[in-house]
A and B are shown apart, each in its own frame.
Chain A
Amino acid sequence: MRTETRSDVLFITGFTNLGATNAVLFKELAHAQFDQTHKNVEADFSEVRFIDSVGLGALLSVHKKACERGGRLVLVNPADNIRHFLELLHMDKVFHIAQL
């Protein structure tokens, strides 16, 4: 899992699951890297094959952080099963989903 900055966007990439095993890491990494220069967060979901409720909790935490700066969390290129998961929990209305 790694991060990079492009303009005011913090990119988080390099993960294939987001669950109880790495949700804390995801959250701490995002919070640590999200500094004054950032407004938005984009998480690369193109390689993610699985997410659970703990992983979703980490996303919500990061989402709140971005909102505080007037920004947003964008999930980039999630697979269908991830989309279904988000829809089931009505999170498709909360996060911005981008298909690039």
Chain B
Amino acid sequence: VLESACNASSVASACWQLRQFLAESGLDALELDQWEIVLIEAGNNAVQHATEVARVLPIRFELHISSNSVCACVFDHTPGFTMPSSPELPGVDSEAGRGLFLIQSLTDCARYIRGREQNCLYLQRGRGQEPVAMEMLAVHGAAQQDLLVQTQLTLDRMTEELASCYEILSAIFRFSGQFAGELKPEAFARKWLEDLLKTVQGDWYVFRVLTPDGLGLRLAAASNSADAIDELPLAQFQEKPANSECEAAIKRTDVWFGSAALIPAADVLPVRDGCGLSHPIMVNEKLLGVLTIGRKAGNSFFEAAHVNVIQLFGDFLGAQFLNEELHESQARARVAKRELEIASEIQHSFLPKELPCMPGLELATHYRSSSLVCGDFYDSFQTPDGGLFLAIADVMGKGLPAAMFATVFRAQLRAGADHAASPGAFMAWLNRMLFADLDRVQMFITARFLWVNMAERRLVTAAAGHPPLLVADTHGVHEAGQTGFPLGVFPDSRYVEEELALPDGARILLFTDGLTESEDPTGRPLGLQPLKDALHRSARLQETSQDFKCALVRMLEEFRGGTAAKDDETFLVLAGHST
């Protein structure tokens, strides 16, 4: 490597040194003379055409010498030029314009590569021989002619390959817009595959998609769908595939078929003769379907470039189908979520908007769902005799089915309000009304009713498989725990009524098992005792029902330690004023 300043004498000096270097590498006198001219001409051009600012930059010469050739690179900082394919000599009147002719005449290869900051003149010549012009290759014997033919063939194949890439790209651009909205997947597949037939000069196609159970290939589109059967079973052909489509699906590889060795059971394909390819369409390593495309008998197999097109068209189609499926499932999920939101709104609308207000009693409620819709339910209303009726229930399970039964339960509860003063009989009646519906879907409801007779200061309660009623006063906590079977288990269940006195300043708690089964971060359930303790404390302090509600909610949250509640949580708290 040598660098020369950007002037003629430095270039001449550098080229002289390069000549010396070439001489040491064994080039003969003629080669040395000719290389010196070539390098000087290249260097002179670099000096003559250097831009004003580039005159301070060096001209770089690189020589690469091997046993059979010499390569030189001359880097310049000129605006650059276009190397003519065959420079012509100017007339004798012209004193300039012979440099490129000399360079090309004295080398085997001269290429000029333009760069952003510098350009490179690449020069190459074989050693120990006269320079050989490209056009002379043809007369250098059969070997060179073969080489030319081979090179031409390679170029043709590359051109074909490029053309196929162009076809694919242009088809993708043409069709991707259509798929985005207007066309159903099958209609899109038909248009897309008709286009493919034209591109690869095919005569027919069959496109099948894997059935949702993965056991068969369903016909999605075919050039002549009347000839193709609707569904191909896959399972029975695991050992010996029925045809190329099944084989491609089972083995997950391209399967070729030809007229000479046509696949068995060929009548599942639209032609009985011909040749072609079955291509499995895979998306994320999952089989989506099989595309089979063929030519009629007497035609040649698809060329390599066409196979590329078929595979890429198939894979693109697969990706579009998958996208469509995703869009559909997302749309379904959005609809389902909206339906749940509506169900939640309806369910909330059934809860009492205002709690009954009675002299000497105040009521507070808490209702929190662990999912969008809740299986818990409560209700409260005054009875015609001046009493207060409270109901709390928990439908087995969560989500939409539980919410639906909670709604039905509420409707029946209001319909049977006349029974409120006798909670046991009311529960039995309600069980009879709901049994058939609950039994059919094998669901059940736990519930607790409480009737408060303020005049006689007594409480009457009955339960269907529900947690106990807790009644606290300053002396302690009483528990009414008798319970019958949940609603919906037996058609004629009976429910025992328990009576308790309503003490002065009592605190009464009705709740669902979401409270006692609430878990701390280690999975330990809360149990009944903390609720009893809290209620007793509230009675001692004579908290309002609202204060107790807030204290209990806080206690539950602290117990869970920041983890999400696994079940719905509902409770009603009744505070009796001291007389």
Residues of A at under 8 Å CB distance from B? Answer: 17, 19-21, 50, 52-54, 56-58, 60-61, 63-64, 81, 84-85, 88-90, 94
Specify the chain B residue showing the minimal Cβ separation from A54. B44
Specify which chain B residues have a CB less than 8 angstroms from the CB of A61 in the assembled complex: 95
A21 touches B101 (CB 8 A): no
Q: Given that A17-B12, A21-B12, A89-B101 are contacting pairs, would A64 and B37 also be in contact in the complex, using a CB cutoff of 8 Å?
A: no
Q: Return 5 A-B CB contacts under 8 Å, by A number.
A: A17-B12, A52-B99, A52-B102, A57-B96, A60-B92
B41 touches A88 (CB 8 A): no
Specify which chain B residues have a CB less than 8 angstroms from the CB of A89 in the assembled complex: 89, 98, 101-102
Q: How far is the CB of A87 from chain B (nearest CB, A)?
A: 11
A50 touches B102 (CB 8 A): no
In the complex, whether B36 has a CB less than 8 A from a CB of chain A is yes
A53 to B29, CA, bound (A): 20
A19 to B14, CA, bound (A): 14
Residues of B at under 8 Å CB distance from A? Answer: 8-9, 11-12, 29-30, 33, 36-37, 40-41, 44, 47, 89, 92-96, 98-99, 101-102, 105-106
A88 touches B105 (CB 8 A): yes
B40 touches A52 (CB 8 A): yes
Specify which chain B residues have a CB less than 8 angstroms from the CB of A50 in the assembled complex: 33, 36-37, 40
A57 to B98, CA, bound (A): 9
Q: How far is the CB of B479 from chain A (nearest CB, A)?
A: 116
Q: Given that A17-B12, A21-B9, A89-B98 are contacting pairs, would A53 and B33 also be in contact in the complex, using a CB cutoff of 8 Å?
A: no
> Most chain-B CB neighbours within 10 Å: which of A58, A84, A89, A90?
A89
B8 touches A20 (CB 8 A): yes
A57 to B92, CA, bound (A): 9
Specify the chain A residue showing the minimal Cβ separation from B103. A53
Which one, B12, B29, B105, contacts A20 given CB within 8 A? Answer: B12
Q: How far is the CB of A58 from chain B (nearest CB, A)?
A: 7
B40 touches A20 (CB 8 A): yes
Specify which chain B residues have a CB less than 8 angstroms from the CB of A88 in the assembled complex: 102, 105-106
A54 to B105, CA, bound (A): 17
Specify which chain B residues have a CB less than 8 angstroms from the CB of A56 in the assembled complex: 95, 98
A28 to B73, CA, bound (A): 34
Specify which chain B residues have a CB less than 8 angstroms from the CB of A64 in the assembled complex: 93
Q: How far is the CB of B290 from chain A (nearest CB, A)?
A: 67
Specify the chain B residue showing the minimal Cβ separation from A64. B93
Q: Given that A52-B37, A81-B30, A88-B102 are contacting pairs, would A21 and B8 also be in contact in the complex, using a CB cutoff of 8 Å?
A: yes
Q: How far is the CB of A27 from chain B (nearest CB, A)?
A: 9
Further pairs besides A19-B44, A61-B95, A94-B92: 18, Cβ < 8 Å: A19-B12, A19-B40, A20-B40, A21-B8, A21-B9, A52-B99, A53-B98, A53-B102, A56-B98, A58-B95, A60-B92, A64-B93, A84-B30, A88-B102, A88-B105, A89-B89, A89-B101, A90-B89
Specify which chain A residues have a CB less than 8 angstroms from the CB of B92 in the assembled complex: 60, 63, 94
B93 touches A81 (CB 8 A): no
Specify which chain B residues have a CB less than 8 angstroms from the CB of A58 in the assembled complex: 95
A53 to B98, CA, bound (A): 6
A11 to B92, CA, bound (A): 22
Q: How far is the CB of B514 from chain A (nearest CB, A)?
A: 99
Q: How far is the CB of A65 from chain B (nearest CB, A)?
A: 12
A22 to B246, CA, bound (A): 83
Q: How far is the CB of A26 from chain B (nearest CB, A)?
A: 12
B9 touches A53 (CB 8 A): no
Specify the chain B residue showing the minimal Cβ separation from A81. B33
A57 to B48, CA, bound (A): 14
A66 to B459, CA, bound (A): 141
Specify the chain B residue showing the minimal Cβ separation from A57. B95
A20 touches B47 (CB 8 A): yes
Specify which chain A residues have a CB less than 8 angstroms from the CB of B9 in the assembled complex: 21
Specify which chain B residues have a CB less than 8 angstroms from the CB of A20 in the assembled complex: 8, 11-12, 40, 44, 47
Specify which chain B residues have a CB less than 8 angstroms from the CB of A21 in the assembled complex: 8-9, 12
Specify which chain A residues have a CB less than 8 angstroms from the CB of B47 in the assembled complex: 20
Specify which chain B residues have a CB less than 8 angstroms from the CB of A63 in the assembled complex: 92
